[in-house]
Amino acid sequence: MDLYDQNNTIKGTVKRIYFEKHENGYKAVLLETEDEDETVVGKMPDVSVGDTIEADGSYFDHPKFGIQFKIDSYRIVPPEDSKAMERYLASGAVTGVGERLAAKIVAKFGDDTFRIIEEEPERLSEIKGISKRKAMEIAVSMEEKKDLRDAMVAMGTLGITQTMAVKIYDNYGPGYIEVLRTNPYKLAEDIRGIGFKTADDIAAAQGMDPASDDRCQAGLLYALLESSADGHCFLPTERLVKEAGELLGAGCGDIGKNLEQLVHAGRVKRDGDRIYLPGYYFAELSCARMLVEKNIPMLQNLPGLDEKIDRDIVKIAEENGMRADPFQVSAVRECVKNGLFILTGGPGTGKTTTINMIIGYFLNQGCEIVLAAPTGRAAKRMTEATGYEATTIHRLLGVASITDSSGGSAYFQKNAEDPLEADVIIIDEMSMVDIMLFKALLSAVPVSSRLILVGDASQLPSVGPGCVLNDICSCDFFPMVKLEKIFRQDETSNIVINAHKINRGEHIELSSSIKDFIFLERDDAGVIRQTIGWMISEKLPDYVHCTAFDIQVLTPGKKGALGVGELNRFLQQTLNPPADDKKEYIYGDTLFREGDKVMQTKNDYKLEWRTDSRLTSLSQSGTGVFNGDLGRIRSIDESSRVITVLFDDGRVASYSFSELDELDLSYAMTIHKSQGSEYPAVIIPVLDPSPLLVYRNLLYTGITRAKTCVVLLGSSETIGRMIDTKGSNDRYTSFTERLLQAKGS
């Protein structure tokens, strides 16, 4: 009988995981057996490096990878001898134990190692370097791994994937059984990355009633939560009922009755025809009250005050080599006189110069000033433009932790009880600030401090819910100056001039001969991809004096031949091709490779980071990596199952393989994700995006990310339609109304 037709049993230790598909637990692993190493493939959701397995199956000849063993069934067996035990402990499977410590433990206890850890863990402290506390931590880690493995097997029978099972167990511990049995829809509320449909599948697998109140209410809450991901703070009742009905399907029960129950229980907030998640409702109310309270004069309006302030401003500007335009002087004057001031304007209109004049004035008055922006890249730009250190709003406030249910709220160390210590607080890129972050910021601003909000109201709104800057600008009772005169008439003038034309709805000249605003007409997605590869790897780096990795491809959407996914795969192959010295790891549909450009895609308030001692003499550490932070993959460690990323600001963070849903390749990113950033050059493919993405301020935001050169590739007709289409999708917010109410109260 041919070997490939036989059923065989093999036994060995997992040395390496070549590939794993988290959706179904499929893996390809390198198994070290007594005779030789074997490649074993199949569904093994609970198998990790260091595990000893006994598997039944058969051999087959893969056309690309050669002879492999395909499992039909397997069992994880405890290591039976000291060598196997040491290999398991050294694999990183047990928290706090590496190769050297594993060798010490096994040298001391031999084949009795596992029994000692499980039954007499205090004896581990007999080994030099292991305290009693450390000994107990090792024992707990071993026990937790066993419990987690049992949980993964149990959840696997309900169709729950490996990654999802880990998240569920991490969130609930042994209590996961009760949650799954009584109300699996709670998963969608409590755990990021688990949506209603997943929870619904789990409920269906257990035979739960599709018309139950739990299911109906979960559908309503999920519809509201999904709407917040689109930027809405509420939904009209009719739209909410319609979207929940589409989600739940026929025979789902009485949606209206269940909505009333949610209102009665306080899980949603009703205001007239509007239904909110409570977090967003109270955030709008709080922000309106605090902002109106902040809108107070800081100086008594005595005769000659304006003239004196203006003279001081002009003098300080001249001393710092700045030309004081009358409109900018009036902006600084309003800022000096008021507790709250809003400064808006497009590119090249002198916002940075005005900020520098504001800083110079208040420094001359002996004031303490802090600068902040929503993202690390925006803060870095602010630092470079002003010469003064800027930080992210999250770090300014001292982020501590987060909960995401009912609208979500970050918890910060700085708040009303422990406010910021500054006389002047300047926040740039306000268009990126959502309603929840704005609430946290306002809560930490002292009454005695001046708050200056700076931004471009024509940019795309925040990724998170709300339209804060636009809503504030729509009120006429706040001290506000909009800068409109274009000052930057230098080598980037075509970017600036065209941006303003687009913002006014005027069509622009499209030509391949304009040195800093290049348009190439192309009607084929494949040709556009090849052109992007040529431009970014060969043409543009020398042209704008930077590296290929400094140039950013921005695209309207995520999907399609010119979406983020396809472009990232193409550009990864172009800019960071596979090599023998580059380790790789596949997570879902994404292949990560050492050297890749990556971006954090979610706010993770608990992820630990440290500064790189090779890049800075100041050693720092902390927690919190935020949506939009960019970096490069420094290393991929298969034994510890960790990817380490060096971010642009010098922070280093490590991600376990189960946390990689927080990372994405960033050779290409959506225009929305690029907010607050600036690049030497940007390349924007514009061929045939979704009709929902054909609008003016999307194009405007994209081209204003470029410092030196913009390259547009695609259809001039599509660009014309984008310019002609004034708005993006309207957001359901009531912040303007809350501001008017607070002003009148």
What's the pLDDT score for residue 410?
A: 54
Q: How confident is the model at residue 566 (pLDDT cuts 50, 70, 90)?
A: very high
* Range with the poorest average pLDDT among 164-168, 219-223, 512-516, 693-697: 164-168
Whether the per-residue pLDDT at 2 is higher than 80: the answer is no
Whether the per-residue pLDDT at 551 is higher than 90: the answer is yes
Whether the per-residue pLDDT at 408 is higher than 80: the answer is no
Pinpoint the alpha helices (H) of 583-728. 696-703, 716-724
Pinpoint the alpha helices (H) of 589-715. 696-703
Whether the per-residue pLDDT at 531 is higher than 70: the answer is yes
What's the pLDDT score for residue 489?
A: 53
Query: CB under 8 Å, gap of 24 or more: what pairs does 545-549 form?
Result: 545/680, 546/680, 546/681, 548/575, 549/575, 549/597, 549/632
What's the helix, strand, coil split of the chain in %, to 5?
45, 25, 35
The pTM for the full model equals: 0.80
Higher pLDDT, 125 or 493: 125
* Range with the poorest average pLDDT among 104-118, 143-157, 542-556, 713-727: 143-157
Tokens of 626: 């935020």
Q: How confident is the model at residue 543 (pLDDT cuts 50, 70, 90)?
A: very high
Region of 514 (left: φ > 0; alpha: ψ -120 to 50; beta: rest) is beta
What's the pLDDT score for residue 618?
A: 67
Whether the per-residue pLDDT at 538 is higher than 60: the answer is yes
Q: How confident is the model at residue 5 (pLDDT cuts 50, 70, 90)?
A: low
Percent of the chain with pLDDT over 70: 94
What are the strands of the beta sheet with 517-521, ordered from one edge? 517-521, 706-714, 679-686, 552-555, 668-670
Pinpoint the alpha helices (H) of 42-98. 82-90
Segment 42-53 shows an average pLDDT of 80
Average pLDDT over the chain reads: 88
Whether the per-residue pLDDT at 615 is higher than 70: the answer is no
Whether the per-residue pLDDT at 505 is higher than 90: the answer is yes
Q: Are strands 66-77 and 37-43 parallel, antiparallel or unpaired?
A: parallel
Segment 237-264 shows an average pLDDT of 93
**Extended beta strands in 295-395, E state:** 340-345, 369-373, 390-392
**Measured between alpha carbons, how far is 340 from 427 in angstroms, rounded to an integer?**
11
Whether the per-residue pLDDT at 409 is higher than 60: the answer is no
Q: Are strands 517-521 and 663-665 parallel, antiparallel or unpaired?
A: unpaired
Tokens of 518: 């290049």
* Range with the poorest average pLDDT among 139-143, 340-344, 407-411, 539-543: 407-411
Under a CB-based contact definition with an 8 Å cutoff, are residues 684 and 710 in contact? Answer: yes
What's the pLDDT score for residue 491?
A: 46
What's the pLDDT score for residue 564?
A: 95
Burial class for 3, CB neighbours closer than 10 Å (0-12, 13-18, 19+): exposed
Q: How confident is the model at residue 1 (pLDDT cuts 50, 70, 90)?
A: very low
Q: How confident is the model at residue 253 (pLDDT cuts 50, 70, 90)?
A: confident
**Measured between alpha carbons, how far is 602 from 730 in angstroms, rounded to an integer?**
23
What's the pLDDT score for residue 4?
A: 55
Segment 132-141 shows an average pLDDT of 85
Segment 291-301 shows an average pLDDT of 88
Whether the per-residue pLDDT at 406 is higher than 50: the answer is no
Dihedrals phi, psi of 548, to nearest 5 degrees = -60, -30
Whether the per-residue pLDDT at 22 is higher than 70: the answer is no
> How many CB atoms lie under 10 A from the CB of residue 648?
14
Higher pLDDT, 615 or 492: 615
Q: How confident is the model at residue 657 (pLDDT cuts 50, 70, 90)?
A: confident
pLDDT in tens, 200-215: 988 988 888 999 999 9
Tokens of 7: 């059923």
What's the pLDDT score for residue 26?
A: 84
Nearest CA to 362 out of 316, 301, 311, 328 is that of 316
Percent of the chain with pLDDT over 90: 50
Between vectors from CA 659 to CA 679 and to CA 564, what angle results, nearest 5°? Answer: 40
